Every structure is written in C-alpha cells, then in structure tokens.
Amino acid sequence: MTDPRRLLPAVDALLAAPDVAALARVHPRSLVVRAVRETLEAARANSGATPAEGWGPAVRACLERLAAPSFVPVINATGVVLHTNLGRAPLAATALAAMHRIAAGYASLEYDVGRGSRGSRQRHCRDLLVELTGAEDALVVNNAAGALLVALSALARGGEAVVSRGELVEIGGSFRIPDILARSGTELVEVGATNRTHRADYEAALTPGTRLLLKVHRSNFQVTGFTAEVPAREIAALARERRLASLYDLGSGLLVDLSPWGLAGEPGVRDALASGVDLVAFSGDKLLGGPQAGILVGTATALIACKNDPIARAVRADKLTLAALEATLALYRDPEAARREIPVLRMLTTDPAELRQAAEALARGVGHGSEVIAGESEVGGGSFPGAKLQTWLVQLAANRLTADDLAARLRGRDPPVVARIQDDRVVLDPRTILPGQFEVLGGAVRAALDG
Ligand SMILES: *Cc1c(COP(=O)(O)O)cnc(C)c1O
C-alpha cells in the first residue's frame, strides 16, 4: 500500500487552490507560503491525513495564528493593581491622548519652537517634576534601574558606594541591585546584618575611596521582628558631614498621600527629598501610574553630573514616554484629579462598597452558580508590600472543570482573561477590571463555563 504521506499535495498545488489563492490577496505571500508549509507539515506528522476541516480552512486557521500579534491587551481580573507581567500601570486618558498626538507626526522633542533652535528633551517633564516634588532639578530616563545606573556612575564611579545588607533587593526579572551597581563602575560595600544596620556600621565602612551612601527602599518585602535601619535623614546627614554623595532608591514614585485609604508606610517622593539626600530615584510606572520611566530628582549639582554622564544618553527616555509622563504629571497639580483619573490611583482607592456592587453585577451576568465572596486585592509592583486591600470577589463554580482548566479556558478567550486561583477556585477581582471590560468579561466567562 502507498504511504499516504506520499500523496500529500505539493506546496505549489495548495497555493494555487482557489481558497488558498484568495488568502494571498489579503495577506503577505510569504506568510501564506509559511502557513501552507506548516499545514502540510502537520498533516505529515498526522500520518498524512487530510485535515478534517479541509485544506483551505486548515491553511486559513494556521495563517490567522501566524498573523496574530503576540503582544495583546488582556483583562486583568487578578486584583493585583501593579501587575508586572501584565504591564504595570494602565495609563490615564490624557496620557494616551498625548502619546497619540506626539506619535502621529513630528514634535518639539528637542526643538525650541520660540527660538527656532535646538532644545532639550528633558525640558518637557523637568519643570513639572520640580513643581510637584520641590526638587531643584530632575531627569527622566528609560526606567528606574537605568536611573540608578546613571546616578551611581555620575556620583561614585571609580569609588565605593556603601549600602545596608538589609536593603540589597532583587527588583524583579531576577536582577539585583548589586549587579546594577557593579555595572556602574562603583564598588559596593555592604554593611550591617540582614535584619539590623546602624549608623556606626556606615561610619566604620568609610574609607578615602568612599564616594556615596546609598539607601534602598525595601519595596517588595518586609523585614519584621528584631530589626533596625538607618533612616534616610541620618544617611543624608552623615554623607554631608563626610562630604559624600547620597542617593535614595525609592522604587515607587508616590506623589499623593494614600493613608486615608489604608495605604501607609510607603515613603513619598517629597518626604524622601526632605530627608536631605542629594538624589532620589523612582519608577514612572509604579505608584506614579504613568509610563515606564526612571526619574531622578534632587540637587542641581547632582543632576548636572547625571545629565553629563554618558550613561544618561544610553538610557534616555523616548518621545512617547515623555509625552505620557508629562500628561500624567500634569494631573498631579490637582491631587483629587490625579486620584480620579490615574487608573492605578483610582483602583487603589476604590470604595469596597463600589467593588461589591461591581462584583454582584458581574456574578449576575455570569450566572452558572457564581458567588460573591469577601477577599483581598494586592498593590503589586513592589509597592506597599504586605498591604491588603479589602475587596469583593466573584467566585466561579467550575462544575466538572478543574480550576486550572477553567483558568486556561479564560486565558484562551479574545481578549485573554487572567484570573486568580484561590482555594482551588477561580476568582475574579473587579478592582483591576477596567470600566469598559465588564460586559466582554461576562460573555467570556459564560462561554468558558459552557464550552
Ligand atoms: C522597582 C524597583 C526598581 C526598578 O525599577 P524599574 O522602573 O522597574 O527599573 C529599583 N529599585 C527599587 C527599590 C524598586 O522597587
């Protein structure tokens, strides 16, 4: 008997088939050829069987998979507000509009329109940062890790930077502060113990080669029990006494007081600056709620050194970031507007009663025995570690499906729904579901449960 694999159509024959040829009129030919080859390959692997749906539809399905972008919007139903894997901060409407305006054409990125001459890309966010934080000067780069690299290179290259062992944090993606420090050309000197560091530990570590004292906010973990750390104020004072530079890596850029909403203990940018350190570094896309960016604020002298450092050029912010950041910062001129319009701040401060209503409406829409239960959301993104925000969850009744299977089905929807599994049940947290997403979400969940 002939091996059916030898009877498979040739690539050219399949490309010439009318329904495949029709695909080549709307898709790039190279992609159609690839889809044909992959469909044939799949048939060969399946003992040469003709696809059940027929060749044309099989090629079309393969083509759709190949043509689909891999970077897609998802619905975040996890309740983790700053979800690093899901892109941290969703942007405010004015930030989106600014990016769109700038991206669509040419813009005054490094052009002084009044003088008709070269300008600085730093001008756009600098004045707002100075106004909002009270700093003498500011610099925006690509991300906070980049900001640290610039600051350390500018203020301590070729010398030593002293940091507490209790503050050597891993900042996600398994990158550690010490590794970043090493690349800045600075030698790291660790002092104290993991749980306790005292002023005397810093003093004992000072040598003629010491250039900088570094304080790192423990942004993504808590140390409890028998602990001691030296506050930024004392680090700044010691640095001034010994004519050293001081840098405070804050992680999150909190610009408003969230303590009325039960979120306390995260140092704000203004407080960090008021401690007297030369420079404060923070992210644009954590609690600030803007685009990915690294921000340095501090003294004029420290910032001139940073701006003149070649690393500043290597990690400079792009025009879309600057557009979105300027628009986000402008919202902070009215803290109430910032809280309402910056999605991260709105989600963190949503009233539990409102979340309960949203959960109940969602549960009604989903049906299938879903229930509303009390639960907790997380801030995420290495901010307010350990803080729990009271929320209301929709707990799905999976019937014959395991929680993992149901979660996988939800991820298979368009747009994918990322849910949380808690006590072997799939739960949806309305806190991180955007206002326009509830209806689509309801449909996706019903389909996943029915499927
Ligand atoms: C998140 C974080 C960083 C890194 O910020 P990116 O903007 O992600 O580069 C650095 N330091 C601390 C303390 C952080 O929490």
Residues 389-427: pLDDT tens digits? 999 999 999 878 999 999 999 999 999 999 999 999 999
The confidence score (pLDDT) of residue 225 equals: 67
C-beta of residue 235 within 8 angstroms of C-beta of residue 202: yes
Which residues have C-beta within 8 Å of that of residue 243, sequence separation ≥ 6? none
Given phi > 0 = left and psi -120 to 50 = alpha, else beta, which region is 357? alpha
Closest CA to 280 of 151, 126, 146: 151
pLDDT tens digits, residue range 260-308?
998 988 899 999 999 999 999 999 999 999 999 999 999 999 999 999 9
What average pLDDT score do residues 1-17 get? Answer: 86
Which residue carries 């530990």 as its tokens? 201
Name the CA dihedral angle for 282, 285, 288, 289, rounded to a multiple of 10 degrees.
180
Q: What's the 52 CA to ligand 1 centre distance in angstroms?
A: 51
Distance (Å, whole) CA 92 – CA 104: 19
- Sorted by where each begins, the domain ranges of the chain are 12-67, 75-84+344-450, 93-338
Nearest alpha-carbon partner for 234 in 267, 202, 279? 202
Average pLDDT over residues 342-351: 98
**Section 214-229 average pLDDT:** 76
* Protein residue with least CA distance to atom 11, ligand 1: 251
Strand duo 245-251 + 279-283: pairing: parallel
Q: Where are the beta strands (DSSP E) in 350-435?
A: 371-380, 389-395, 417-418, 420-422, 425-428
State the DSSP string of 309-374: SHHHHHTBPPHHHHHHHHHHHHHTTSHHHHHHHSHHHHHHT--HHHHHHHHHHHHHHH-TT-EEEE
Which atom of ligand 1 is found nearest the CA of 284? 7
Q: Which of 390, 374, 383 is nearest to 422 (CA)?
A: 374
**Sheet arrangement for strand 420-422:** 80-82, 371-380, 389-395, 425-428, 420-422
Distance 251 CA to ligand 1 centre (A): 4
Ligand 1 interacting residues, C-beta cut-off 6 A: 143-145, 169, 171, 216-217, 219, 249, 251, 283, 294, 382
- Residue of minimum CA distance from atom 10 in ligand 1: 251
**Distance between Cα 381 and ligand 1 center (Å):** 9
Which atom of ligand 1 is closest in space to residue 148's alpha carbon? 10
Per the CB < 8 A criterion, the answer to whether 82 and 266 are in contact is no
> If you measure from the C-alpha of residue 268 to the centroid of ligand 1, how many angstroms do you get, rounded to a whole number?
15
Pocket test for ligand 1, best of 219, 250, 379 (most atoms within 8 A of CB): 219
What separation, in Å, do the N-terminal and C-terminal C-alpha atoms of the chain show? 41
Query: Does the pLDDT at position 166 exceed 80?
Result: yes
Arithmetic mean of pLDDT, 51-75 = 95
Residue 370 has pLDDT above 70, yes or no: yes
Nearest residue (by CA) to ligand 1, atom 15, is 251
CA of 31 to the centre of ligand 1 (A): 40
pLDDT digits (tens, 9 = 90+) for 14-49: 999 999 999 999 999 999 999 999 999 999 999 989
Closest CA to 429 of 439, 437, 438, 419: 419
CATH number for 75-84+344-450: choose from 3.30.70.2970, 3.40.50.920, 3.40.50.620, 3.90.1150.180: 3.90.1150.180
Q: What is the mean pLDDT of residues 254-259?
A: 95
Residue with the smallest CA separation from ligand 1 atom 12 is: 251
CB 347 within 8 A of CB 381: no
Question: Nearest residue CA, atom 2 of ligand 1?
Answer: 251
Give the residue, out of 148, 283, 292, with the most ligand 1 atoms within 8 A of its beta carbon, to mutate for a pocket test. 283
Q: What is the pLDDT of residue 196?
A: 80
> How does 215-243 read in b/e, with b if 16+ C-beta sit within 10 Å?
bbbbbbeeeeeeeebbebebbbbbbeeee
Cα of 281 to ligand 1 centre, how many Å? 9
Distance CA 142, CA 138 (A): 14
From ligand 1's centre to the CA of 10, what distance in Å?
Answer: 54
- Position 20, amino acid: V
Tell me the CA–centroid distance for residue 282 and ligand 1, in Å: 7
Half-sphere exposure of 18 (CA within 13 A, CB side): 0
Distances (CA, A) of 361 to 44, 366, 397: 49, 9, 16
Just give the CATH number of 93-338: 3.40.640.10
Q: What is the DSSP string of 131-198?
A: HHH--SEEEEES-HHHHHHHHHHHHHTTSEEEEEGGG--B-STT-BHHHHHHHTT-EEEEES-SSB--
Separation of 101 CA from ligand 1 center, angstroms?
29
User: In the prediction, which pLDDT does 168 show?
Assistant: 80
Residue whose CA is at the smallest distance from ligand 1 atom 14: 251
More confident residue, 65 or 171: 65
Taking only the tens place, the pLDDT of each residue in 352-366 is 999 999 999 999 999
- Residue 176 has what pLDDT? 75
Whether 5 has a pLDDT exceeding 80, the answer reads no
Per the CB < 8 A criterion, the answer to whether 396 and 449 are in contact is: yes
Q: Which residues contact 315 (CB under 8 A, 6 or more apart)?
A: 141, 142, 143, 146, 147, 149, 150, 294
Are 75-84+344-450 and 93-338 the same fold in CATH? no
**Is residue 172 over pLDDT 60?**
no
pLDDT tens, residue by residue, 190-216: 998 877 888 999 999 999 999 999 999
pLDDT tens, position by position, 76-106: 999 999 999 999 999 999 999 999 999 999 9
Please give the number of the atom of ligand 1 that sits closest to the Cα of 145. Answer: 9
* Ligand 1 atom nearest to CA at 146: 9
- Compute the distance from residue 200 Cα to the ligand 1 centre, in Å: 28
Q: Token digits for 105?
A: 């054409």
Tokens at 26, concatenated: 């709307």
Per-residue pLDDT tens for 305-344?
A: 999 999 999 999 999 999 999 999 999 999 999 999 999 9
